[in-house]
Structure 1
Amino acid sequence: MLTRTAFRFSPRGSYAACLASDGVAGWHVEHWPLDPARPPSPVPGLAPTGPHSRMLPLDDGGVLLHHATPDRHRIILGRPDRPARLLGTLAALGLQLIPHPAHDTLALAITTRSDPSATLWLLGRGDGEPRPVLTVSGLLIGGTWLDPGGRQLAVNRAYQGDLTCVAVDLHSGTVEEIWPDHPSVRLLFAVPHAGLFVVADDNGRIGWACSPGGRLQWPAELNGPHNPWPLAADVTGEQVAVRLDQGGRSRLLVYERHTGRAMVLPLPAGHLGDAAAWTPTGLRFAFTGPDRRTGVAEIAPSAAQAAGTFRLLADPDSRGVPGLPGAPGVPVHAG
């Protein structure tokens, strides 16, 4: 039986990628085209070492794979229609890949060393070779862009015994705390042009601000029962999708920040993954049902005011069967 895990979406949500294994031939990277939706296919030349390997799907259809050894980290670019290419090998304790908003850049890589320090590298869209930008003291965790040009990056920095959310300026090299009066706050994701910055604190509270360092709000609608966790926001920054976990079943809550209204959308029995992308056609997320393998589902933003239906995109369990519930593009009604 095929196992799928670690779904991620490209920045605009036009592609997804995951790790897959049949338990016999080892792990491979699956590539999921979503505009229009087509069945997933393996990416040649990408050989993840296991279910914890990390990858990053790109909006041009490529996939970056981080291949780790004890002291070396290789970054490999794969595409469904051409051989994989090694972009570079970096000596470090750890490495993470972050999507970059600029059109001429594939991604940002952050490596960590034992001193402790972190180096930021840009992977250009030309040869893709990692080029160092700056090194900062401390260890950097996560990463969310604060501007559309890719100049300021918000990260969590572990430094001198403290863990704080800071803004790193890739041009000037400055590092500044974003919420110095609230050191436990972490930035989860942002829609900078819309003035939405979604945060969480060490107590598990979910909130938002209109700007980096701005006044924090902690709506009760985002902090109810069932372990709420924000997944994504729409392009206007008005709606935030939140996963609720009730035992083995997930529900989807949509929070409207300026009205304070929260609506739980009906979904079939199943579990939502950790990653999501809100596109012009709908919110996309990994979904596993009791009678189907993990695939990519989409629910329209207007579903809260309409029938509350969702559809499975390129569902691998029913590909090519027109009219079957769960076939590509066919709505599935919640029970």
Structure 2
Amino acid sequence: MTACATETAPHTDTDTGTETGAVPRAGFTIAADGSYAACLTRTPDGGDGWYPERWTLGGPEPYTVPLPGNQPEEECSEVLPLPDGRVLIRRRVADRHDIALLYPTGPGTGELLLGSIPGGPGGSGTEVRLLPPPASGLAFALAYDPVAARTTVWLVHDGHDGAPRRLAEIHGRCGGGAWLDRAGGVLALDREADGPVKTVAVDLRGGGAVSPLLQITDDSNDRLLLAEPDSGLLIVRSDATGEDRIGWGVLGSRQPMRFAECLRVPDAVLTPFAAQPGQVLMPESCAVALRADGPHGTSLAVWRPGERRATWLGGPEGWLAGTGMWSPQGVLRLPYACVHCPCGIVEYDAPAPFPSALAAVPEAVPEPAPEESRGSPVLPLQQAPLAAGA
């Protein structure tokens, strides 16, 4: 389904690398409940300035609301949609990162400054980025201080318009960011500290305690790409087999990480961006959407971990590549913007599963938590044995 709500001037979409005729957009992010999305959009004059834009996705047809401020935004700013319709923005201002809430006020844009995260002098120092939004409606940021070699997790919006506050500090440089629960209580981060990259879990409700989550081999670089809290499905990228490959496992399972042969595509980089929610106790049947970037452009694949093949689809013209979300019923919604429709959503039904392939995957058995970990939602997968087959 499509809806056109904003007129835009023809332009090359630099984010997707295709001639869509749409104004370029950057940092497109969808709220966890699918109600809203937000991005930065190039100013109509074609200059270097950007302005925040909110997409309303919860109604019968999507539409956009521009939220320009008193001056154009820089491309390094970030926006995050909230379930109440406001848009959170992070801006670099001198030696700090300002956090504010934007909202439409008739013909203008209202702005509420929440506070700041300290940065480094002269445009250098602390690196700050917003984390994907959890289902709780809270908003978090990750700040890395290269001088102290330390990463800090900040709560930048608590639902009550309070000032940002520190929640946890982790030794080393942390990237990624995937939620292991829907409340925003347990965060998985890819940490690099005096060795290969390993994924750790940070308990934000328990004083910021850090525990190992993913360690396939001692020397491998293991990153968590995607987590689906309902089923416990984890999608990882690891070089434990001697090359970077996409694998999957289940949080708290005794089963080893498995690496899908069908996701080994020559001359292409596959990145998962959405997993089907609501599949409790059925991680093998979760539909996963992947973006594939290769010499011939960007394409779309749908795959279930329990299957030995992926289904390749053609994305819509002007797809904001690498963005989208699944419904629990298996409908994939992809946002796009092109000269024919500056704001649209196209829906795909997930391909029917192959029962024989699903039956071939052994059932994941939950691993009992050790005595000292009882009550914690984190059941680490560290020291998981390596399996080369799907």
> What is the match of residue 246 of structure 2?
206
* Cα drift, residue 86 of structure 1: 0.7
**How is 1:1-335 mapped onto 2 (pairs within 5 angstroms)?**
1=9, 2-21=23-42, 22=44, 23-24=46-47, 26-36=49-59, 37-45=61-69, 49-81=73-105, 83-92=110-119, 93-101=126-134, 103=136, 106-113=138-145, 114-122=147-155, 123-170=157-204, 171-182=206-217, 183-202=220-239, 203-211=243-251, 215-225=256-266, 226-235=268-277, 236=279, 237=283, 238-268=286-316, 272-280=320-328, 282-287=331-336, 292=340, 295-302=343-350, 304=351
Q: Which amino acid aligns with 2:170?
A: V
Alignment CA distance shift 1:135-1:250 (3 Å): closer
Query: Does structure 1 conserve the Cα–Cα contact (< 8 Å) formed by 2:64 and 2:343?
Result: no
* Cα drift, residue 188 of structure 1: 1.0
Alignment CA distance shift 1:294-1:44 (3 Å): closer
Q: Which amino acid aligns with 1:157?
A: R
Superposed CA RMSD in Å reads 2.7
Q: As a proportion of its length, which structure holds more strand?
A: 1
User: 2 CA distance for matches of 1:46 and 1:211?
Assistant: 46
* Cα drift, residue 151 of structure 1: 2.4
Query: Does structure 2 conserve the Cα–Cα contact (< 8 Å) formed by 1:178 and 1:212?
Result: no
Local SS of the residue matching 1:67: strand
Bigger mean CA deviation after superposition, 56-65 or 272-281? 272-281
Query: Does structure 2 conserve the Cα–Cα contact (< 8 Å) formed by 1:18 and 1:30?
Result: yes
User: 2 CA distance for matches of 1:296 and 1:245?
Assistant: 22
- TM-score normalised per structure 1: 0.79
Alignment CA distance shift 1:263-1:17 (3 Å): same
Bigger mean CA deviation after superposition, 276-285 or 219-228? 276-285
User: 2 CA distance for matches of 1:15 and 1:3?
Assistant: 19
Report how many residues are paired. 302
Local SS of the residue matching 1:125: coil
User: 1 CA distance for matches of 2:321 and 2:346?
Assistant: 12
Query: Does structure 1 conserve the Cα–Cα contact (< 8 Å) formed by 2:132 and 2:177?
Result: no
Q: Which amino acid aligns with 2:114?
A: L
* Cα drift, residue 88 of structure 1: 0.8
User: 2 CA distance for matches of 1:270 and 1:166?
Assistant: 36
* Cα drift, residue 215 of structure 1: 2.0
Alignment CA distance shift 1:167-1:248 (3 Å): same
Unaligned 5+ runs, structure 2: 1-8, 10-22, 120-125, 353-390
User: 2 CA distance for matches of 1:292 and 1:245?
Assistant: 24
Q: Which amino acid aligns with 2:52?
A: V
User: 2 CA distance for matches of 1:243 and 1:166?
Assistant: 25
Bigger mean CA deviation after superposition, 30-39 or 267-276? 267-276
User: 2 CA distance for matches of 1:198 and 1:212?
Assistant: 14
User: 1 CA distance for matches of 2:48 and 2:199?
Assistant: 41
Residues 133-188 of structure 1, C-alpha deviations (whole Å, 9 max, x = no match): 22222222121111233222110112235432111122143222222333411111
Alignment CA distance shift 1:178-1:15 (3 Å): same
Query: Does structure 1 conserve the Cα–Cα contact (< 8 Å) formed by 2:150 and 2:173?
Result: yes
Local SS of the residue matching 1:221: helix
Bigger mean CA deviation after superposition, 114-123 or 19-28? 19-28
Query: Does structure 2 conserve the Cα–Cα contact (< 8 Å) formed by 1:196 and 1:209?
Result: yes
- TM-score normalised per structure 2: 0.69
Query: Does structure 1 conserve the Cα–Cα contact (< 8 Å) formed by 2:176 and 2:224?
Result: no
Query: Does structure 1 conserve the Cα–Cα contact (< 8 Å) formed by 2:63 and 2:343?
Result: no
User: 2 CA distance for matches of 1:175 and 1:269?
Assistant: 43
Alignment CA distance shift 1:270-1:150 (3 Å): closer
User: 2 CA distance for matches of 1:50 and 1:293?
Assistant: 25
Q: Which amino acid aligns with 1:118?
A: T
Alignment CA distance shift 1:253-1:46 (3 Å): farther
* Cα drift, residue 121 of structure 1: 2.0
User: 1 CA distance for matches of 2:154 and 2:294?
Assistant: 40
Q: Which has the larger radius of gyration?
A: 2
User: 2 CA distance for matches of 1:216 and 1:19?
Assistant: 37
Alignment CA distance shift 1:27-1:293 (3 Å): farther
